[in-house]
Structure 1
Amino acid sequence: MPLTEEIHLRYNLYISHSWNHNDAHKDLDSLIKGRNDFDYRTYSLSPHHPVNQIKGERKLYETIKNKMKFCDAVIILCGVYPTYSRWINKELIACKDELNKPLIAVQRFDSSHTSFIVKDRADVIVDWNADNLINAIKRVVAGAK
């Protein structure tokens, strides 16, 4: 009888803070944290990072890109919030245009309250569900290798 061995992977994720609305980032982290079947590390850029005090948009972009560089996938919530204006385009350009990282869009609310630009650039769109999100991460990372 052959033995099967499960390979344990740690996923490096950039989880966007561009939608840091009502602690959505913490809620998303809590959604997937503590699962025995999923190990991950985040390389996200906190909204409290000192780069946010700098007026230069290029510095913010470079900081986002440098965080994303080491990630297997990027996760962005599809919500439409005013804070998108400073971050979201930089994250999308770094993710898709420069680093060619898989992008997972997460819909927390119904589609009438979601960002078209995020959904348009996403490799996959999932609803707010731990199993769906984890499966999407595993799928896009395996497809990127």
Structure 2
Amino acid sequence: MAKIYNIFISHSWTHNDDLVGLKDLLESRGYFKVEFWESTRDSPINSSNTSYVKMKLKERILSADIVLGIAGIYATNSDWIAWELETAYNNAIPIIGVIPRGQERISSVVNEYSIDNVRWNTESIVAAIRVHSK
């Protein structure tokens, strides 16, 4: 039976296309099974209570085998991405930075916490997940 990788993708809702593209990339890879644990525009955590949202996100992060941080430069200015990555890091959940297509510079926040940074390429991302997931 093939392993199912539980993945939490740390992302910015204002750059939703990156999230959708990354999920599509991984789901289309043959013989690579994934389940996603992040909160999205389509399935948000419906609360304005920050403590509650953080509690729910932390549960999802701790359920993941690995966290993928979309490493667009915009991630450097996101308090939520920083919090998600710090939470994963402090709980020994491996973090891989995924550099969006065409990016020359990457987020310093993602780079600070990641154990590996890979380009937006299916094989590179899948290989990093297989090597680094818990």
How does the TM-score come out when normalised to structure 1? 0.80
Whichever residue aligns with residue 118 of structure 2, its letter is V
Does residue 85 of structure 1 match 2:67? no
Gaps of 5+ in 2: none
Q: Secondary structure at the match of 2:74?
A: coil
| Cα contact 1:17–1:45 (8 A) shared by 2 | no
Gaps of 5+ in 1: 1-6
Does residue 140 of structure 1 match 2:132? yes
Q: Which residue of 2 aligns with 1:130?
A: 122
- By how many angstroms is 1:9 displaced? 0.7
Partner Cα distance (1:9, 1:50) in 2: 28
Whichever residue aligns with residue 9 of structure 1, its letter is K
| Cα contact 2:61–2:67 (8 A) shared by 1 | yes
Distance change >3 Å, CA 107–CA 30, structure 1 → 2: same
- By how many angstroms is 1:18 displaced? 2.6
Partner Cα distance (1:28, 1:119) in 2: 18
Q: Which residue of 2 aligns with 1:21?
A: 15
How does the TM-score come out when normalised to structure 2? 0.86
Matched ranges for 1:11-50 at <5 A: 11-18=5-12, 20-21=14-15, 23-47=17-41, 49-50=44-45
Whichever residue aligns with residue 100 of structure 1, its letter is A
Does residue 101 of structure 1 match 2:100? no
Moved more, 130-139 or 62-71: 62-71
Distance change >3 Å, CA 70–CA 110, structure 1 → 2: same
- By how many angstroms is 1:20 displaced? 4.4
Deviations 1:105-128 (A, max 9, x none): 00113332x211111210110000
Aligned residues: 132
Q: Secondary structure at the match of 1:126?
A: strand
Partner Cα distance (1:116, 1:83) in 2: 6
Superposition misfits of 4+ residues, deviation over 6 angstroms: none
Q: Secondary structure at the match of 1:63?
A: helix
| Cα contact 1:14–1:75 (8 A) shared by 2 | yes
Deviations 1:72-111 (A, max 9, x none): 00001111227952411210121001x2100010011333
Q: Which residue of 2 aligns with 1:10?
A: 4
User: Larger Cα Rg: Structure 1 or Structure 2?
Assistant: 1
Q: Secondary structure at the match of 1:134?
A: helix
| Cα contact 1:16–1:76 (8 A) shared by 2 | yes
Whichever residue aligns with residue 93 of structure 1, its letter is E
